[in-house]
């Protein structure tokens, strides 16, 4: 028998948002490529199985295990530089021995970092005026470590997402405003130094140069043609020539937004963006509704910021307002890695919500591996 309190705390609204997005993804995928459609269905089924097991993990009680998960992800990120598999000019994957599968540690890191921040902040909540300099530096190190390693792969897009999501979550939780002002001044001062040092790869420079010049990449030009030809209500499948005749590259992955607009027009584009915005606001509202539950606040804030960044970057990339960095549209672009990542994040959020009744809040554990780590770092 399922405890009624689980059903009472379960967030059904979240599923009302997720189901239409997955449905539209499958609809568009089926129109573009029936083979990829079948594969995406398999990813969805596997995700549902994974969600069932993830939902019942007592995340609030496994602080020590979360430290281990974070540490293992850091080790995997380091291993990428030595035994990683190179694809499309970047070394981001690690092959699983004796299988044909590979994993992308940077994607797992997004989940691990969220859980680690949630555990640390729960054990060491911010004071009334927000975190001070020492705690801010300690928590920042947890974010900067994977950022630097991922940046070296090189994977600038994922590294920036990790950085912005981590510090965005800190902003949501509470840091003394003097620290943000100081940090902003430091960034402004060091920006010219970064330009002189020139840490970017050649292809990354080319993306930026193409972005600020009139020379848009081929895929962006085709994307703009697809969007511009859609009209107010879009075209039928037969008239969506940019995608159906393969003029638009990556129509089922990074540029699926362009195909969506080609099919459903300006009205559909604004409707989809409004839908994503409402989803972000809903998830953020959960963090505000349970302000004293820091584990839930971190999870909700982290997912909302990550979702906002993915949608914003993908759409801006599609319409030529941002460099092409390979960020998919959440739950809609084809691919298992991104889909698994977001479904796992949403399942963790549902688990933390559904099992709120089991735990006492506003208490700091005085034992356990994470609490010992907090005291060691603070001493």
Strands ordered across the beta sheet of 102-103: 85-87, 90-95, 102-103
What's the pLDDT score for residue 243?
85
In tens digits, what is the pLDDT along the chain, a chain of 379 residues?
456 777 778 899 998 999 999 999 999 999 988 888 999 999 999 999 999 999 999 998 898 999 999 999 999 899 888 776 666 556 677 777 766 666 788 889 999 999 999 999 999 999 988 899 999 999 999 999 999 998 887 788 889 999 999 999 999 999 998 999 988 888 888 766 665 565 566 655 566 666 666 667 788 889 999 998 888 998 888 888 888 888 888 888 889 999 999 999 999 999 999 999 999 999 999 988 888 889 999 999 999 999 999 999 999 999 888 888 878 999 999 888 889 999 999 999 999 998 887 654 344 444 444 444 444 444 4
Between CA 140 and CA 171 the distance in angstroms is: 12
SS3 call for 232: coil
Between CA 169 and CA 140 the distance in angstroms is: 11
What's the pLDDT score for residue 365?
44
- With b for 16 or more beta-carbon neighbours within 10 A and e for fewer, the 281-311 pattern comes to ebbbebbeebeebbbbbbbbbbbbbbbbbbb
SS3 call for 94: strand
350: nearest Cα among 277, 281, 283: 283
What's the pLDDT score for residue 336?
81
What's the pLDDT score for residue 273?
96
Between CA 372 and CA 130 the distance in angstroms is: 22
What's the pLDDT score for residue 7?
77
What's the pLDDT score for residue 18?
93
What's the pLDDT score for residue 17?
94
What's the pLDDT score for residue 198?
57
Peptide bond into 342 cis (omega under 30): no
Tell me the CA distances in angstroms from 290 to 169, 170, 216, 287, 353, one per residue in order: 15, 17, 45, 6, 10
Between CA 48 and CA 57 the distance in angstroms is: 15
List all residues 6 or more positions away from 340 whose beta carbon is below 8 Å from its beta carbon. Answer: 43, 46, 47, 50, 107
Q: Which sign, positive or negative, has the C-alpha torsion 226, 231, 237, 240?
A: negative
Burial of 214 (0-12, 13-18, 19+ CB in 10 A): exposed
Pull the structure tokens for residue 362: 């506003």
Burial of 152 (0-12, 13-18, 19+ CB in 10 A): middle
β-bridge pairing 90-95 and 102-103: antiparallel
What's the pLDDT score for residue 343?
94
β-bridge pairing 102-103 and 85-87: unpaired
């Amino acid at each position: 028998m399922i405890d009624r309190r689980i059903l009472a705390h379960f967030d059904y609204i979240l599923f009302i948002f997720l189901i239409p997005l997955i449905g539209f993804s499958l609809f568009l995928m089926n129109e573009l490529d029936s083979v990829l459609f079948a594969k995406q269905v398999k990813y969805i089924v596997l995700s549902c199985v994974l969600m069932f097991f993830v939902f019942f993990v007592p995340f609030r009680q496994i602080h020590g295990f979360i430290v281990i998960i974070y540490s293992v992800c850091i080790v995997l990120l380091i291993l990428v530089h030595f035994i990683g598999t190179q694809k499309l000019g970047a070394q981001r994957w690690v092959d699983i021995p004796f299988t044909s599968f590979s994993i992308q540690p940077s994607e797992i890191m997004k989940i691990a970092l969220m859980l680690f921040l949630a555990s640390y902040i729960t054990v060491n909540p911010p004071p009334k005026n927000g975190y001070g300099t020492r705690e801010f530096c300690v928590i920042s190190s947890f974010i900067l470590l994977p950022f630097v390693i991922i940046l070296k792969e090189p994977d600038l897009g994922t590294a920036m997402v990790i950085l912005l999501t981590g510090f965005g979550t800190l902003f949501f939780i509470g840091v003394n405003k003097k620290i943000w002002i100081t940090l902003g001044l430091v960034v402004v001062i060091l920006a010219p130094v970064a330009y002189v040092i020139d840490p970017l790869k050649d292809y990354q420079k080319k993306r930026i140069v193409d972005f600020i010049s009139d020379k848009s990449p081929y895929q962006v030009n085709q994307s703009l043609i697809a969007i511009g030809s859609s009209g107010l209500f879009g075209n039928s499948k037969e008239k969506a020539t940019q995608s159906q005749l393969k003029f638009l590259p990556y129509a089922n992955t990074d540029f699926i937004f362009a195909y969506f607009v080609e099919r459903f027009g300006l009205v559909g584009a604004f409707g989809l963006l409004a839908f994503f915005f409402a989803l972000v606001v809903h998830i953020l509202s959960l963090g505000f509704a349970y302000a004293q539950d820091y584990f839930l606040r971190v999870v909700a804030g982290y997912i909302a910021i990550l979702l906002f960044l993915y949608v914003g970057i993908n759409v801006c990339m599609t319409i030529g307002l941002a460099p092409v960095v390979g960020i998919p549209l959440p739950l809609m672009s084809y691919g298992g890695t991104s889909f698994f990542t977001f479904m796992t994040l949403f399942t963790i959020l549902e688990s933390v919500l559904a099992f709120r009744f089991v735990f006492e809040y506003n208490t700091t554990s005085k034992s356990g591996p994470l609490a010992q780590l907090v005291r060691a770092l603070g001493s």
